[in-house]
């Protein structure tokens, strides 16, 4: 299947439409809430929570004996929340640093989950097969009701983000100050954490426990490179997440044996790389270009400053001087002199140069200038 | 004295784990003073402010603002945290940070509107930062960031201001700008409490002082109690002798 065929089928084929819609919505909610996680410096929280959700799935299966997605995800939600609040408690009540607490909970819950999964696989229950899809995700198993659930959860998350936007921003920037303004920081914190857990849980079926944190972090990290306002960052992260979902699905649908979850994560990571290199303000490429340009500019200005010093000793500033007079100053070349002429700082006449009034003013104001980059 | 009492702290004790950081602090701060809290590193100066503001839970003690518990008087109190306590790479602008000062009076969910924006712009003007209003906060110098924090507190239009080392790492012109604003606040009858490090400037900037070193050493008017005896008790060395050696 080619990419064009994919987009033709997108509107007619039931499975393909489900998967594309599901991954797009998942990308949107993860990008949106992932921005908050990244700005709170809780990037690894997502990883710990998604791993902590695994035993919940296994326990839910053991109790009900059935593979109803909603019930399994409910189990994941409960155990994810237990993990998340256990981490919170550990950080606030003990001397452990947050990375230690995250690592501990992650491995403890994941180990317990894996133990239960192996136990379940040895059971004589015909239903058991396929639980391991929650490890790496299997987008192909998405059915309409799953996608509906994703859309509803994303809608609620969006509503909550819009309602509590001001409170979220305040808490993200300055938690102590938030408290002194009379807001219940614990409530805001729990609200954010709850929705991050929810986003992770609805992504488990598609992307899986192991890669889920990338869905949260990659779009947010990419979006941060392009903007300096929170609203734009959140919207951009949601868009990047959504696009990664659709493109990832398209790529995996048009190739044989490419599983969807990892491809989506790779597409999102591609966005990260592109953003880190090409962002106009924070990107590595333009930073380097700006650095080189500034250096060249400064070299020109140094030469200009030298000329200014000479011109000052004469009554009329446009008095011509021979170029040879610059020889004991190393910073100029033929090319740089021509560049200065282009800037209308100097006039060149055979082997002589003279300062223009524009060049004189430029040299005079060299140290009074405001930086150009806002 | 007929002066009203702005802040009254009784028996305030704070401990991290087993180590007491503040021990049985009693403090009465009259309205309309500009007060410095001085003491060595680890004396609990910031902790005192944070405990008064409820950011840290004390083990014991109570705080009254104009005679009523602090929780009921929150809107009368503004806070300027240490500049280093937040991440200045946060994606937002100077104006937006100052607007945060209006969030408390807005309460839950309600969005800031034109009225709040106008107040924020006025506060930016007061700290001489109006031309930087759309600047991303990471692009501001340390002194400018401190001014933004001050403007955010000014927007709250409070009666009492708590400031945690507002002069830390700022240049001379910012320091003068800030102290002039603080003196203006005092003139307007506000009470200002400042954690301060530079002992040289205490008599010049402040009219009230509290010496703190886990316990309260002394509190009162600068002209009465800012002396060698209290400095020695607080810092454990004879301050003037040590400086002039």
**pLDDT per residue as tens, chain A (374 positions):** 677 887 777 777 888 889 999 999 999 999 999 999 999 888 889 999 999 999 999 999 999 988 888 999 999 999 999 999 999 899 888 888 888 999 999 999 999 999 999 998 888 766 666 788 898 888 888 999 999 999 999 999 999 999 999 999 999 999 999 999 999 999 999 999 999 999 999 999 999 999 999 999 999 999 999 999 999 999 999 999 999 999 999 999 888 888 899 999 999 999 999 999 999 888 899 999 999 988 888 888 888 888 888 877 877 777 888 887 777 666 677 778 888 888 888 888 878 888 888 888 888 777 765 444 43
- Whether residues A179 and B55 touch (CB distance < 8 A) is answered with yes
ipTM: 0.94
Which of 168-197 (B) contact A at CB < 8 A?
A: none
Q: Mean pLDDT over all residues of chain B?
A: 92
Compare A351 and B26 and report the one with higher pLDDT: B26
**Residue in B with minimal Cα distance to A282:** B89
Structure confidence at residue B99 (pLDDT): 97
Residues of B in contact with A232 (CB under 8 A): 91
Q: Residue A233 is nearest to which of B75, B91, B135, comparing CB atoms?
A: B91
- Name the β-bridge partners of A321: A353
Regarding beta strands B68-69 and B215-221, do their DSSP bridges make them parallel or antiparallel, or are they unpaired? unpaired
Query: Token pair of A126, please?
Result: 């015909």
- Whether residues B104 and A182 touch (CB distance < 8 A) is answered with yes
Structure confidence at residue A324 (pLDDT): 76
Structure confidence at residue A11 (pLDDT): 77
Residues of A in contact with B103 (CB under 8 A): 166-167, 170, 181, 183
**Residue in A with minimal Cα distance to B54:** A180
- Whether residues B91 and A227 touch (CB distance < 8 A) is answered with yes
CA distance A104 to B211: 44
What domains are defined for chain A?
3-282 (1.10.3470.10), 288-368 (1.10.10)
Residues of B in contact with A228 (CB under 8 A): 91-93, 136
> Does the structure show a pLDDT above 50 at B239?
yes
Q: Is the dihedral of CA B194, B200, B204, B209 positive or negative?
A: positive
Interface test mutation site (partner B, options A41, A160, A166, A168, max chain B beta carbons within 10 A): A166
Angle between helices A43-64 and A14-39 (to 10 degrees): 130
- Whether residues A228 and B92 touch (CB distance < 8 A) is answered with yes
Compare B181 and A15 and report the one with higher pLDDT: B181
CA distance A181 to B74: 7
Interface test mutation site (partner B, options A39, A41, A173, A275, max chain B beta carbons within 10 A): A173
How far are the Cα atoms of A125, A299, A304, A316, B92 from residue A342, in angstroms, in the given order? 83, 15, 13, 22, 39
Q: Residue B79 is nearest to which of A164, A165, A180, comparing CB atoms?
A: A180
- Whether residues B135 and A374 touch (CB distance < 8 A) is answered with yes
- Whether residues B92 and A180 touch (CB distance < 8 A) is answered with no
Kindly tell me the burial class for residue A14, based on how many C-beta atoms sit within 10 Å of its own C-beta (0-12, 13-18, 19 or more).
exposed
- Whether residues A176 and B74 touch (CB distance < 8 A) is answered with no
Structure confidence at residue A159 (pLDDT): 97
pTM: 0.88
**Residue in A with minimal Cα distance to B93:** A229
């Amino acid at each position: 299947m080619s990419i064009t065929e994919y987009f033709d089928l997108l509107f007619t084929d039931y499975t393909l439409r489900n998967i594309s819609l599901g991954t797009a919505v998942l990308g949107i909610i993860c990008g949106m809430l992932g921005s908050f996680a990244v700005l709170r410096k809780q990037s690894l929280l997502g990883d710990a929570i998604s791993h902590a959700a695994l035993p919940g799935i296994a326990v839910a299966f053991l109790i009900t004996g059935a593979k109803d997605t909603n019930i399994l995800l409910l189990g994941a939600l409960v155990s994810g929340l237990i993990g998340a609040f256990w981490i919170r408690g550990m950080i606030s009540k003990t001397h452990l640093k947050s990375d230690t607490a995250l690592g501990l909970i992650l491995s403890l819950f994941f180990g317990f989950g894996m133990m239960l999964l192996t136990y379940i696989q040895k059971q004589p229950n015909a239903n058991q097969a396929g639980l391991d899809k929650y490890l790496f995700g299997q987008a192909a198993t998405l059915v309409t009701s799953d996608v509906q659930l994703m859309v509803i959860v994303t809608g609620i998350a969006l509503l909550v983000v819009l309602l509590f936007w001001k409170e979220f921003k305040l808490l993200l920037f300055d938690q102590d100050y938030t408290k002194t303004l009379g807001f219940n920081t614990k409530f805001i914190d729990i609200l954010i954490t709850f929705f991050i857990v929810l986003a992770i849980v609805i992504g488990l079926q598609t992307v899986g426990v192991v890669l889920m944190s990338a869905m949260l972090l990659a779009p947010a990290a990419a979006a941060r490179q392009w903007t300096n306002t929170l609203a734009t960052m959140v919207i951009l992260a949601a868009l990047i997440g959504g696009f990664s979902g659709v493109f990832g699905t398209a790529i995996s649908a048009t190739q044989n044996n490419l599983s969807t979850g990892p491809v989506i994560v790779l597409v999102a990571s591609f966005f990260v790389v592109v953003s880190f290199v090409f962002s106009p303000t924070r990107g590595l490429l333009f930073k380097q270009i700006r650095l080189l340009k500034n250096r060249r500019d400064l070299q020109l200005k140094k030469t200009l400053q030298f000329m200014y010093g000479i011109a000052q000793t004469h009554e009329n500033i446009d008095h011509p001087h021979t170029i040879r007079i610059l020889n004991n100053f190393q910073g100029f070349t033929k090319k740089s002199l021509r560049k200065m002429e282009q800037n209308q700082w100097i006039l060149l006449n055979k082997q002589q140069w003279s300062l223009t009034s524009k060049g004189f003013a430029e040299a005079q104001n060299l140290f009074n200038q405001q930086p150009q980059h806002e | 004295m007929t002066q009203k009492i702005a802040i009254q702290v009784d028996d305030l004790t704070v401990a991290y784990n087993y180590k007491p950081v503040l021990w049985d602090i009693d403090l009465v701060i009259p309205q309309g003073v500009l007060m410095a809290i001085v003491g060595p590193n680890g004396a609990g100066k910031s902790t005192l402010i944070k405990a008064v503001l409820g950011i840290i839970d004390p083990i014991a003690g109570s705080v009254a603002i104009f005679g009523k518990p602090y929780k009921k008087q929150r809107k009368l109190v503004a806070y300027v945290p240490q500049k280093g306590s937040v991440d200045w790479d946060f994606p937002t602008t100077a104006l937006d940070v100052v607007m945060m000062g209006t969030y408390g009076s807005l309460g839950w969910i309600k969005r800031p509107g034109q009225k709040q924006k106008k107040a924020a712009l006025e506060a930016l003007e007061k700290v001489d930062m109006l031309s930087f209003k759309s600047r991303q906060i990471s692009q501001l110098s340390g002194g400018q960031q401190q001014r933004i924090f001050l403007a955010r507190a000014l927007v709250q239009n409070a009666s009492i201001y708590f400031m945690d080392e507002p002069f830390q790492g700022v240049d001379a012109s910012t320091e003068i700008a800030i102290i002039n604003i603080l003196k203006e606040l005092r003139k307007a009858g506000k009470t200002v409490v400042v954690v301060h490090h530079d002992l040289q400037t205490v008599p010049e900037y402040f009219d009230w002082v509290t010496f703190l070193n886990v316990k309260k050493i002394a509190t009162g008017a600068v002209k009465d109690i800012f002396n060698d005896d209290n400095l020695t008790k607080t810092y454990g060395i004879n301050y003037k002798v040590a400086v002039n050696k």
